[in-house]
């Protein structure tokens, strides 16, 4: 596996080695040992999956401490633009984001540590989005950040995103009390 670091401390793109022949292909999508050897020793306790049509935008979401979640995300079908926004108040990159295009043909993954709001936009129909979480879902700990806050400067690569009613009313960065 290749672990690609960004200028921002925390998020990592992971590109697995893929072995293919006339029958198809195989790749190892997760190994605690390999991840730990590369600085990611997060233990995951819950797996989630969603299917989205092109134009669906989900996020930006997080869970507040002590239920904060790190995530390991990938797409099993289609493509998605994945976004991680640093919401750690004392971080030099507070309010900045990393964008990572996830592509089922590349089998790439994106690790998002605790202290980041997370969201994605489906770039193709029937995008199957899969993610591992380091903590169980807790509705009382839900937090979010408005997807189109100008302070974030995110180019979602969509002209008319399809959003949930909940995601339309999330706070802007200047109003955010994330707990991090």
Answer yes or no: 131 catalytic: yes
What is the pLDDT at residue 167? 97
Rounded-to-integer distance, Cα 108 and Cα 123, Å: 15
For the chain, which domains are there?
43-175 (2.60.120.10)
Catalytic residue among 30, 131, 135, 136: 131
Q: What is the DSSP string of 58-70?
A: EEEEEE-TTS---
Per the CB < 8 A criterion, the answer to whether 36 and 107 are in contact is no
Is 98 exposed, middle or buried, given 0-12, 13-18 or 19+ CB atoms closer than 10 A?
A: buried
pTM of the model: 0.95
Catalytic residue among 25, 61, 67, 137: 61
Rounded-to-integer distance, Cα 116 and Cα 145, Å: 10
Q: For residue 126, count other CB atoms closer than 10 A to its CB.
A: 11
What is the pLDDT at residue 92? 96
64-76 average pLDDT score: 97
Q: Read off the pLDDT of residues 102-156 as tens digits, 9 standing for 90 and up.
A: 999 999 999 999 999 999 999 999 999 999 999 999 999 999 999 999 999 999 9
What is the pLDDT at residue 178? 85
What is the pLDDT at residue 101? 98
Per the CB < 8 A criterion, the answer to whether 88 and 96 are in contact is no
What mean pLDDT value characterizes the chain? 96
What is the pLDDT at residue 79? 98
Query: Does residue 177 surpass a pLDDT of 90?
Result: no
Q: Percent of the chain scored above 70 by pLDDT?
A: 100
Answer yes or no: 61 catalytic: yes
Q: What is the DSSP string of 70-114?
A: -EEEEEEESEEEEEEEE--TT-TTTT-EEEEEEETTTT-EEEE-T
Per the CB < 8 A criterion, the answer to whether 30 and 19 are in contact is no
Query: Does residue 34 surpass a pLDDT of 90?
Result: yes
């Amino acid at each position: 596996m290749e672990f690609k670091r960004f200028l921002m401390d925390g998020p990592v793109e992971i590109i697995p080695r893929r072995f293919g022949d006339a029958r198809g292909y195989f790749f190892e999508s997760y190994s605690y040992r390999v991840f730990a050897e590369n600085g990611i020793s997060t233990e995951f306790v819950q797996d989630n999956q969603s299917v989205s049509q092109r134009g669906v935008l989900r996020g930006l979401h997080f869970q507040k401490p002590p239920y904060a979640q790190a995530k390991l995300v990938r797409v099993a079908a289609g493509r998605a633009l994945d976004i991680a926004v640093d919401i750690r108040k004392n971080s030099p990159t507070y309010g900045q984001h990393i964008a990572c295009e996830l592509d089922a043909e590349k089998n790439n993954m994106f690790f998002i540590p605790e202290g980041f709001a997370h969201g994605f936009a489906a770039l193709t129909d029937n995008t199957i989005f899969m993610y591992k979480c380091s903590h169980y879902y807790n509705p009382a700990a839900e937090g979010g950040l408005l997807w189109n806050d100008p302070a974030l400067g995110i180019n979602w690569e969509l002209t008319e995103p399809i959003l949930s009613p909940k995601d339309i009313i999330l706070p802007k960065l200047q109003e955010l009390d994330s707990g991090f």
